[in-house]
Amino acid sequence: MSTKKKLLVRVNEPLLDGNEKKYLLSCLRTNSISSSGNFIKKFESKFASYVGRKHGIAVSSGTAALQVAVDALKLKKGDEVILPAFTIISCILPLVRAGVVPILIDSDLKTWNMDVADVQKKITKKTKAIIVPHIYGLPVEMTPVIRIAKKFKLKIIEDAAEVLGLEYNKKKCGSFGDISIFSFYANKHITTGEGGMIVTNNKKIEEDCRGLRNICFNTKRRFSHEQLGWNFRMTNFQAAIGLAQLEEIKRKIKKKRSIGNFYNEKFKSYKNITLPLAKTPYAENIYWVYGIIVKKKKNLKKITDKLKREGVETRPFFWPLNRQPILNKLGYFKNLKMPKAEYLAERGFYIPSGLSLTKIQQKYVVEVFKNIIQKI
């Protein structure tokens, strides 16, 4: 290996180089640090406008956004909701808590998203909604999902947490669901440290979501509550950072794609790995993370361990919902096989691709990875 100095390259580090400090100082000067400051309203409005939605409701995390979204649909115990097996556990938590029955869909090995062709096969008279997460940088093919939802009168919860700024057929992801959600965790395209957003065009859903995130205070008698809610409010501090981050979103997306394209070019000749699909007929990859699949699962740990020893952080792919220990313990998905989701989970990992990644760091990652993969 030609690199003389060993580097430490984090899998993801945020970039805070816009108006973050200016807006935070404004919060301090005006004592606007809680959940009622002006930055929250500005952030909600500008974010909704960017995505192409009428209403934005800021919350404390992407997981909180999913919880509120499910609650706002008023699903009942025994109702069924379709979602992919290959996604983060946050997508299923509100269903389990509400006694709603999750129905899993296997993956598309090309895009790593849910296999839309399987959705209609899983619909029954009890099906009420579809949760549609866009995974890692490419969107789910939404046209058939929307057609199915209309045909069977199902609601769509669109989880766009990983794809802010990505377009499906020239329309922003997050603009397709009856309710759509985003996350602003530190590894997302824009961050507030922790935080999330719900967007919708439906006024009634918006009102319900605002109530649910704020302990369902009664508008006529504040401390009288007619339903159970959550304290999922975002602070003005977080919204100030989010607004500053949103102002730089075009530059951030450009950098993400630059990182992804650089890796694609450097790794394209290796036959023992599968790289992320660069584009489909309906979208160009936004590379929220840069995922790699090893064709032999026994090689996954060898590669990631060696990368770690050289200072290159990695993360494994999502573990499929049908094999989540806590869900199996609770009686869900016993003996249920999702072969494609399991294939991805057992062989996939991602390498550093954060917005703070420098050219020197990226070249180091490439050099280290090439040295390892050539010997596997």
- CATH code, domain carrying 283: 3.90.1150.10
Burial 9-35 (b: 16+ CB within 10 A, else e): bebbbbbbebbbeebbebbeeeebeeb
Are 162 and 263 members of one domain? no
Average pLDDT, integer, range 210-218: 93
Can you give the residue range of the structural domain that contains 28? 20-246
Cβ–Cβ < 8 Å for 44, 206: no
Are 215 and 82 members of one domain? yes
As a whole-number percent, the residues of the chain with pLDDT over 90 amount to 94
Q: What per-residue confidence (pLDDT) applies to 375?
A: 87
Final residue belonging to a domain, choices 227, 246, 265: 246
Is residue 277 one of the residues assigned to a domain? yes
Closest C-alpha among 359, 341, 349 to residue 266: 359
Are 278 and 350 members of one domain? yes
Are 171 and 268 members of one domain? no
Cβ–Cβ < 8 Å for 348, 360: no
- Per-residue confidence band for 1, with pLDDT thresholds at 50, 70 and 90: very low
Final residue belonging to a domain, choices 223, 246, 269: 246
Is residue 14 one of the residues assigned to a domain? no
Are 230 and 274 members of one domain? no
Rounded distance, CA 88 to CA 341, Å?
12
Tokens of 68: 């509120």
Is residue 5 one of the residues assigned to a domain? no
Are 166 and 256 members of one domain? no
What's the number of domains the chain is made of? 2
32-67 pLDDT, tens digit per residue, is 999 888 999 999 999 999 999 999 999 999 999 999
298-348 pLDDT, tens digit per residue, is 999 999 999 999 999 999 999 999 999 999 999 999 999 999 999 999 999
Final residue belonging to a domain, choices 192, 216, 246: 246
Are 215 and 130 members of one domain? yes
The yes-or-no verdict on residue 226 having pLDDT over 90 is no
Are 309 and 348 members of one domain? yes
CATH code for the domain in which residue 165 is found: 3.40.640.10
Q: What is the pTM of this model?
A: 0.95
Q: What per-residue confidence (pLDDT) applies to 4?
A: 58
Is residue 15 one of the residues assigned to a domain? no
Are 24 and 160 members of one domain? yes
Rounded distance, CA 28 to CA 22, Å?
10
Are 265 and 220 members of one domain? no
